[in-house]
Structures are given as structure tokens and as C-alpha cells.
Structure 1
Amino acid sequence: MPKLKTRRAAAKRFRRSGSGKIMRRKAFHNHLLQKKGTDRKSRLSQIGLVSEQDAPNVEAMLPYL
């Protein structure tokens, strides 16, 4: 069986947690931050989990994750 290629764009965006779930960054925390509240920016800075429905697609892009 040949080696599988990793999608490099996905490799920069996802990693696996200690329990085996796939982690991601949250969106909307790059610019236009002056109009967003402090609590909202604090929530956006935390790590999010990839939903169970999307996890198979991410795992297909990252076969060795």
C-alpha cells in the first residue's frame, strides 16, 4: 500500500488532543476586534473542538494525525 499524502493546509490548522479529539482555532479573532466585546474575544481565543460530523473529513485530510 502506498504512503498517503497529508494536506499541508489542514496540518497547520488541526491537532489532536490527549483524548483523541481534533482541535481547531475559532474564527473571527483576527481583525475588527475593537467592536467585539472583551468576553466575546476571550471566548474566541480559546481552542474549539471539531464537531463529530466534520471529524471524518479532517481525518481523511490528515491520515497520520
Structure 2
Amino acid sequence: MVIYFKTCEICGQAINKGRLEALPLTRLCIDCAKTFGSDIKDSNTKVGMDQDTYCDLLGAVRS
């Protein structure tokens, strides 16, 4: 569910509809986010592969 009306926690202005569609969890308008930093924190996502898989693939390429 996308919320189309929300006010900024810092300045109290309405948060732009497009911003809410892109970032439904945002609590700041774009101007406050630019000034004070984003309120959206990205979770760490592990990218890549474990060392054993890498070694197996490396061995397959070398043979």
C-alpha cells in the first residue's frame, strides 16, 4: 500500500507524491533529505559467493 499524503517530520511540509511512490517509508521531504541526509537506511545485502564456490569455479576455468 502506497501512502500518497505524508508530512515531513522536520519541516512539516507535504512530501511529494512521486517521492512517496519511490520511497514509501520516507519521513522527510526532498529538501530536508538533501540538507540533513536521507532517512532511508539500506540493509546490507551479501553479494557474491562463498570462498569454496569461488575456488570450484576458478578450478573449472583453469582446467
Structure of larger gyration radius: 2
* Structure having greater relative contact order (Cα 8 Å, sep ≥ 6): 1
Q: Same fold (TM over 0.5)?
A: no
> TM-score scaled to structure 1, two decimals?
0.21
Return the structure number with greater helix share: 2
> TM-score scaled to structure 2, two decimals?
0.22
Return the structure number with greater strand share: 1
